Structure 1
Amino acid sequence: MATRKEMEGDRFRVRPAAPKSRAGPRPERFVSQVLKEVSKACAKASGKLAGRPASTFGRGRVAAGMAGGRLGAHARRVVIKARFVVLRKAGANSVSTHLRYIERDGVTRDGQRGQAYGPETDAADLKAFEERGRGDRHQFRFIVSAEDAVDLDDLRGFTRQLMQRMAVDLETPLDWVAVDHWDTDNPHTHVVLNGRTAGKEDLIIAPDYIARGMRMRASEIATEWLGPRTEIEIRQSLQREVEQQRLTGLDRALMRQAVADTVDLTGRPENRHRQNLLRARLQRLEAMAMAERVDVNRWRLAPDMVRTLTAMGEREEALDTMRRALKGQQRECVLEDASTTPVIGRIAGKGLTDELHDRGYLVVDGIDGRAHYLKLPPGADLLAFPVDGIVEAKTPGGERAVDRTIAAISQDGIYKTANHLDRLRQAAYRDPLATIDVHVRRLEALRRSGIVVRVADGVWRVPSDLAQKGQQHDTQKVTAPVIELRSHLPINQQVRAIGATWLDRQLIGNGDGLAAHGFGARVRDAMRGRQEFLVEQRLAERRGPHVVLSRNLLHTLRERELVAVGKALQDRTGQTYRPLGENGRASGIYRCSIQLVSGRFAVLDDGMGFTLVAWRPAVEVRLGQHVSAVAQGKSVTWHFDRRRDMAI
C-alpha cells in the first residue's frame, strides 16, 4: 500500500512563476484608462483641478495659471506649436538652416522672399542673431497661428505685443526674431527665441506656460484687437467642420463626451444647436465608416478614428498643395506611389510638411504626365532643390552592381580580392586597386549584418543569392525614397547650354518613359531644340529624318565646359587650371565647389594650380582638408587623409 508521502508526490501542483513579457502591445493599465477618461472630460493639465499642484519648474509658472482668466467662451482662438531644441544634439548648422527655411522665397502676401523682423526692427540681422545665440544650450521655436489671422491688419504688431507680454510673464527681456508666412490658407508666424536671459542664464520656461500660458496670452491679444467672436461666427465655424474630411473640433468634443467609445446624445436640451451639429457630424462620420449607429441617439466611434481622420486631413492638404504648385495645369495627382519605377520630373513646388521640424516636400511634375508629392528624408536641405530643376526619386533597395560583380567573381561561394585584381589588370582598368577598395567596403558592410563571412584577409564566403540579400539589407536601412537633383537648370535653359545636360541623357536614351502629354510633352519639344543646337555645334549629324549623335557626346560636352570654366577661373584667380591627366588622378586641398551645367564640381588646390573633379556629398565635410580622387569612367572614388592645410 502506498504511503501518504508517495501519494502526495504524484499530485499535480501549480507553482506560478513571474509573468513573462509577451509580444505585441502591452495591455493598458487601469489607472491609465481612468486618466484618459479624465482627459476626455476636459480636466486641466495642471493646478487644483488636476488633483496635483501646478508645476514649479521654470519661468512663467505663475503667469500660466493667471493667463486667460478673463476670457470667455467667445474668445478668439490661437494655436501655438512649440519645439525645444537642444543645439548640441541638433547639429552645428541647425540654427542657420532653420532661419533660411523660414525666410525662404514665396512666403509673403505677394509671393516674395520672407523678411525676418525683431522687437524694434523690420529687417533683422539673422547672422547677428545666430551669433548672439551661439553659446546657448538650447533654443525655442514657435509657430503662432491665430484662427482669424487674415483679419489682423498688422501681424507683426500682433507678434511683437505677444512677445512683450511673454517678456513680462517670464521676467526677462527676450532675444527673438520672427517671419510671417502668408503662403497657406491660414497665415502664421514663425518665432525663434534664443535660450538665454538678459543675465546670461539659461532661459527655462515652465511647461505649463508653453502648453497653455502662451496660447492664452495670444488669445487675449486677438480678442482685444478683433473683439469676442459673435454667435454667428461660432456657428459658421462649427458648421464648416461638419462636412470636413479631417480631425475637427467637433470630433474632439465627441471623444470627450464618449464613454467606452460610445456617444450618447440623449437628454441634452441646454444647447440644442450644438447637439444638432454633433448629430450631423456623427452622421457624416457614419458615412465615412468612422462611426456606427447603435440606436437613435447613440453612436459607437471607430477605434482608429483619430488616426484615419488625421491621415485624411494630411492627404487633403497635400492635394491642395499640389494644385497650387501646378497653377491650373491638369495632372493626375499621385501621393503615394507603390511602383518601383523611379519618379523623374520638374520641381513644380516645394515647402515644409512640418514647419516646426523642417521636414520638406517636393511637388514633381513627372515625365510620366502625372504630378507626384514626395516627402524629403529627414535632414534634407530644401534649398538644394531649386524650383524648375530636374530631380529623380528612386525607391531604396534595388540590386547593386557591386553585389552582382562579387557574386560573378566568386568561385564555390568564395570571393578573393587577388582573383578580382588579376581580372581587372587583364582588362586594363585604370585604377584596379580603387575598384577593389569599393568592393571590400561593401563586403565589410554586409559582414557586419551577417550576410557574408570574412575567412581571411582578402577572402570572404558569400551566399549564392548575394544580390537579393544585399537588396534586403539596403531596404531595411533606408525606407524613404532617395531623391537626387539631376539638373539645377530648367529644361528651356538646357536647350542651348554648353555642357552635359539632363536633356542630352534623354537624347541618348531615346526619350524612354516620356509621356505624350504634360511635362513629358514639354521634354520632347526641348529635346528637338537640343538636337538642332548639337547639329550647329557639330556634335550631331542629320541623316534624313533622323539625328545621329557623336560618339562620347557627354564626355565631349563636359570637357568643353570644364575647359571654359577652368580658363575663366584661371584668369580671375591667377592660378593655373590643371585638367585631369590620363590616369584620372587629382589631389590637393578641397577649397570649394561650383555648380556647372554638367553637375557640381569640387575645386582641388595642389599648390601648383587647381583641378575640377566631380563632387560627391561625402567630400563636403572635408572642406579645407587634403583629399585625393580617382576618376574612372563615370564614377569618382574619393580618398581622405588627416592632413590639414595650416593656412585654413
Structure 2
Amino acid sequence: FDAKNEGLERQDFFELCKNDRHHFRMILSPERGDEIEDFRSYVREVIKRVEGDLKTKLSWVAAVHYDTDDVHAHVIIRGKDARGEDLVMGRDYIAFGIRARAQEIATELLGERSIEDIQKGLEKEVDALRVTSLDRFIEKQVGDDQTIDVRKDNNFGKSAHYESVLKGRLRYLASSGMAVENPPGVYTLKEGYRDVLASIATRNDVIKKLYERVEGLDDLEIYSLKAGEGQVIEGRVLDKGPADELTDKKYIVVESLSGGKHYVPVGEAFNYDEVNKRGLVRVRPFDHSTGKADHNIALIAAQNEGVYDIEKHRAYIAKEQSYIDEDVREPYLQSHIKRIETLVANEAATELGQGRYQIPDDVIEKGKDISAKINAREKKRFYPKLDILSSHAPEDMVEAKKKTWLDKELYKRSKGDRSITDQSLELALQKRQQWLVDNKLAMIQSNGDFAMKKSVMRDLSVMEVHEEGKFLATKAGLTFNDHKVSSDQAYTYLGYTELETGKWAVAMRGKELQMARIDKAPDIEKGQKVQFSEIERGLFEMRAAEQQKQQDRQQSSRGRDDDNEMEL
C-alpha cells in the first residue's frame, strides 16, 4: 500500500525507482503496536508528517507484518523528491527525526506509557536471554575490575523498584554462570557476558525463524563471524533467505557432511543466487589476517634495499599498475600510507622521514599479528567466503553428461579418502560410479577396485560442451560445429552460457553454431559481428569485429614504424 492505494504490485514500484541513485528503507515497530486499530493509517500519518518536515511529497510503499511477536511495517521511500531531484535527508533526521515522528503519533493513538507498563517491561528483563537495558546500565556502572556493588538500599539514585529489578538481573546472571557473587551483594561480571547473551538471543531468533522451514534444529550452531573463529564447512544447503528484514544481508543453513547444522550469515556473497537448496557448498572463513597492502609494501621495499618510498610506490603504480584508474590511484596509494602508519605505531616499521620507511624482512608475518590484535580489540566481524561445490543436488546429477561433484568425490575415494557419511550421497556415488563404467569413462578392475580413466574429467567437460552446443543449435534452428572458432573469421554473437568449465560465448556463422570459452561476460550486444583471438590454450578473447579491424590497423601501423626505425 501507499498513501492512497491498497494491493500494489511491488514490480511497479521497482520499475519506478530502479534507476534512482539511492532509496530509504525503515521499519516502523512501536511498542504495543498490536493495540493500534488501523496500522496502515498509522504508517500513512508518519510519512505525512515526514513530508511536512522535508517540505516535499514522497513516493513510497509499505507492507504490514502481523505474523510476528511485534506488529511492524516495512517502508521504502523513493530517492527522488516531488521535483524529480535526488531526495536528501540529514543523518540526524534519519536517525532521530523519523523515529520522533513515529513515537509522537503512537503516543497520540495509545497514550503515554503508564508507570505500571514501564515497571512490567523492566521486570521482563530480569531473566531475559538477551542484552537488555539493565545490562547496558550495569555496563556503565562496573569498574575496571568488572565488579558492581549493590549492598546498599539505594546504590545509584534510582527508584526502589529499579534497584529491585537490577539486583534480580544480577542474581540471574550469577545463576546462569555469567557473573560471580562474592561477597554477598558484590558481583563480578564474566568478561564478554554480553556477547554470550547476544549469541543466545541470535540463536533463539534464528530457531524461531527457521522452525517451520528446517527440521531438527537442536544441534544448530551459529557460524561465528569473529576474526579467527570461523571454520571450514562442506555440506548440503537446507535453506536460504534474507538474514533480516531491513538489509540485503543473506543467510544459508548448511548440514555438514560430517554432521551438524550451521546457520551461516553470508552478507552479500556475489554467488549467493547460484546457491540452491539441496546443493553442496563449502564455507570458508574470510582471510582477515593481512591484506594486499603489506605484500605491496614489502615488494616496494625489496626493490629499494628494504626501504619503502612513497614516491617510488607512486611511480610503480603508474608504470606497473596502469590498469588502475587514474582517479583512484591516489586513494589507493593513501591506503598503503595509512597501513604504513599502523605498522610504525606497532613497531613493525621505522619512519626515516621524507616519505621513506625502513621495512623488516618479516613485515608480512608481523602484519598478520597486528591485524589479528586489532580485529580482536575492535571485535571486527568478517563474512565467510562461499564456494559452490554442486549447484544442484548430487542425487539429481548421477547421469549428467558433465563434470560433477560426484566425479571429484569418486576420484578422492580412489585415493583413499572416504569421509562421506550421508546415506543419500553414498547411494548417488554408487549410481554415478556405475554410470561412468557403463559409458566407458571408468572400469572395475580384476581385484574389484573402481578406477577412473585418466582423461575422465576432460572427457566429461567435452561432453558438457557438446550437449549444450547441440541443445542451443537445435533451439536456434542451426547445426552445431564442435571445432574451435577461427581467429580470421567474423561471427554473429548470440549470447553466452555458463557451464561447469566456465563462461562460453555462443556465436553463429552461416548455418552453424559454435562455442568458445571466454574469461569474462562480454559487454557486447547480441546480434553484433564479433571476432575471437586465443589468449591461451582453449581460452578466447572476444571483441566486436570493427574493434578488431581497428586493432589490426594499429598493429600494422606500429609494424611500419618499426621498419622505418630499422632502416634508419
Q: 1:581 is matched with which residue?
A: 484
* Secondary structure in structure 1 of the residue aligned to 2:413: coil
Which of 154, 172, 188 in structure 2 is aligned with 1:267?
Answer: 154
- Does the C-alpha gap of structure 1 residues 577 and 377 become closer, same or farther in structure 2, counting only changes over 3 Å? farther
**Equivalent residue, structure 1, for 2:507:** 605
Q: Does structure 1 residue 346 correspond to structure 2 residue 236?
A: yes
Distance in 2 (alpha carbons) for counterparts of 1:556 and 1:485: 22
> Which residue number in structure 1 is paired with residue 168 of structure 2?
280
In structure 2, the CA distance between the partners of 1:303 and 1:233, relative to structure 1 (3 Å rule), is same
What displacement does 1:385 show? Answer: 2.0
1:139 pairs with 2:41: no
Map 1:349-388; keep pairs closer than 5 Å. Answer: 349-353=239-243, 356-376=246-266, 378=268, 380=270, 382-388=272-278
Tell me which residue corresponds to 1:162: 46
> Using the alignment, how far apart are the partners of 2:513 and 2:368 within structure 1?
42
The one-character-per-residue Cα deviations of 1:336-374 (angstroms, maximum 9, x if unpaired) are: 496998422211122344654423232211211222333
Match of 1:560 in 2: 463
- The size of the alignment, in residue pairs, is 463
Q: Is the 8 A contact 1:119 1:177 kept in 2?
A: no
1:120 partnered with 2:5: yes
The one-letter code of the counterpart of 1:494 is M
Offset at residue 524 of structure 1 (A) = 0.9
What do the CA deviations read for 1:14-60 (whole angstroms, capped 9, x no partner)?
A: xxxxxxxxxxxxxxxxxxxxxxxxxxxxxxxxxxxxxxxxxxxxxxx
State the secondary structure of the residue aligned to 2:270.
Answer: coil
Q: Quick check: 2:56–2:82 contact (8 Å CA) kept in 1?
A: yes
Q: Which of 231, 248, 265 does residue 132 from structure 2 map onto?
A: 248
Question: Per the alignment, do residues 187 and 593 of structure 1 end up closer, same or farther by CA in structure 2, a change over 3 Å counting?
Answer: farther
Alignment partner, residue 531 of structure 1: 433
**Structure 1 unaligned blocks of 5 or more:** 1-115, 399-440, 451-464
Q: TM (normalized to structure 2)?
A: 0.63
After superposition, the Cα gap between the structure-2 partners of 1:340 and 1:147, relative to the gap in structure 1 and judged at 3 Å, is closer
Q: Aligned AA for 1:530?
A: R
Deviation per residue, 1:318-339 (Å, 9 max, x gap): 5666776542266463624969
Structure 2 gaps of 5+ residues are 289-319, 325-332, 341-360, 373-380, 549-568
SS at match of 1:572: helix
CA distance in 2, matches of 1:542, 1:259: 72
Q: Larger relative contact order (C-alpha < 8 A, sep ≥ 6)? A: 1
Q: 1:242 to 1:190 in 2, by over 3 A?
A: same
How big is the shift at 1:198?
Answer: 1.0
Contact 1:594 1:602 in 2 (8 A): yes
1:585-636, Cα deviation, whole Å (9 max, x unpaired): 999787544355x4654334365555445576xx137454968575979xx6
**Contact residue 237 and residue 277 of structure 2 kept, 8 A:** yes
User: CA-atom RMSD, angstroms?
Assistant: 5.3
Q: Identify if the C-alpha distance between structure 1 residues 546 and 304 changes in structure 2 by more than 3 Å, giving closer, same or farther.
A: closer
Tell me how far apart the structure 2 counterparts of residues 202 and 331 of structure 1 sit (CA, whole Å): 48
CA distance in 1 between counterparts of 2:248 and 2:384 reads 18
Aligned-partner Cα distance in 1 for 2:518–2:219: 35
Q: Deviations over 1:158-201 (max 9, x none)?
A: 54443344334433221123355689765654322122221334
Cα distance in 2 for residues equivalent to 1:183 and 1:499: 45
Instruction: Label 1:560 to 1:162 Cα distance change in 2 as closer, same or farther (>3 A).
Output: same
Amino acid at match of 1:482: K
1:11-410 to 2 correspondences below 5 Å: 120-126=5-11, 129-132=14-17, 134=19, 136-147=20-31, 158-179=42-63, 188-219=72-103, 237-255=121-139, 262=148, 266-267=153-154, 271-287=159-175, 309-310=197-198, 313-314=201-202, 317=205, 326-328=214-216, 331=219, 333=221, 335-336=223-224, 342-353=232-243, 356-376=246-266, 378=268, 380=270, 382-395=272-285
Q: Kindly provide the amino acid, as one letter, of the partner of residue 360 in structure 1.
A: K
Cα contact 1:118–1:178 (8 A) shared by 2:
no
Aligned residue for 1:566, secondary structure, equals: helix
Q: Give percent identity, aligned residues only.
A: 25
Distance 1:493 1:638, change over 3 A: same
Deviation at 1:287, TM superposition (A): 4.8
Q: Partner residue of 1:81?
A: none
Change (3 A) 1:341 1:240: closer
Q: What amino acid is the match of 2:170?
A: L
The amino acid that maps onto 2:427 is D
SS of the aligned residue for 1:211 comes to helix
SS of equivalent residue, structure 1 residue 281: helix
Q: Secondary structure at the match of 2:521?
A: helix
Partners of 1:587 and 1:604 within 8 A in 2 = no
Counterpart Cα distance in 2 of 1:161 and 1:496 = 59
Is the 2:240–2:252 Cα contact (8 Å) retained in structure 1? yes
Aligned partners of 2:173 and 2:91: how far apart in 1? 35
Q: Is the 8 A contact 2:223 2:265 kept in 1?
A: no
Q: How far did residue 493 of structure 1 move?
A: 1.8
Matched, 1:508 2:393: no
d(CA) in 1 for partners of 2:18 and 2:423?
A: 50
Q: CA separation of 1:226/1:482 partners in 2, compared to 1, >3 Å: closer, same or farther? A: same
Change (3 A) 1:327 1:567: same
Q: Residue type of the partner of 2:215?
A: K
2:69 and 2:518 map into 1 onto residues whose CA distance is: 40
> Residue 620 in 1 paired to residue 508 in 2?
no
Give the Cα–Cα distance (whole angstroms) in 1 for the partners of residues 240 and 462 of structure 2.
Answer: 33
Contact 1:257 1:263 in 2 (8 A): no
- Are 1:352 and 1:359, in contact at CA under 8 Å, matched by a contact in 2? yes
Would you say the 8 A contact 1:369–1:516 is kept in 2?
Answer: no
Alpha-carbon separation, structure 1, partners of 2:154 and 2:99: 34
Q: Does 1:572 align with 2:475?
A: yes
Task: Report the equivalent of 1:66.
Answer: none
Distance of 1:585 and 1:145 partners within structure 2? 65
**Any idea what SS the aligned residue of 1:345 has?**
strand
Q: How many angstroms apart in 2 are the aligned matches of 1:600 and 1:183?
A: 43
More divergent stretch after superposition (121-130 vs 303-312): 303-312
Instruction: Provide closer, same or farther for how the CA distance between residues 575 and 176 of structure 1 changes in structure 2, counting only shifts above 3 A.
Output: farther
Q: Any conservation in 1 of the 2:494–2:508 contact (CA below 8 Å)? A: no
Contact 2:50 2:98 in 1 (8 A): yes
CA contact (8 A) 2:223 2:230 kept: no
CA distance in structure 2 between the aligned counterparts of 1:170 and 1:569, rounded to whole angstroms: 54
Cα distance in 1 for partners of 2:391, 2:140 equals 51
Distance, in Å, in 1 between the alignment partners of 2:188 and 2:509 is: 76
CA contact (8 A) 1:591 1:605 kept: yes
CA distance in 1, matches of 2:51, 2:419: 58
Aligned pairs for 1:410-429 within 5 A:
none
What is aligned with 2:300? none
- Give the whole-Å Cα distance in 2 for the aligned partners of 1:615 and 1:574: 24
Maintained 8 Å contact 2:443/2:452: yes
Q: Which whole-Å CA distance do the structure 2 matches of 1:548 and 1:587 have between them?
A: 44
Cα contact 1:341–1:394 (8 A) shared by 2? yes
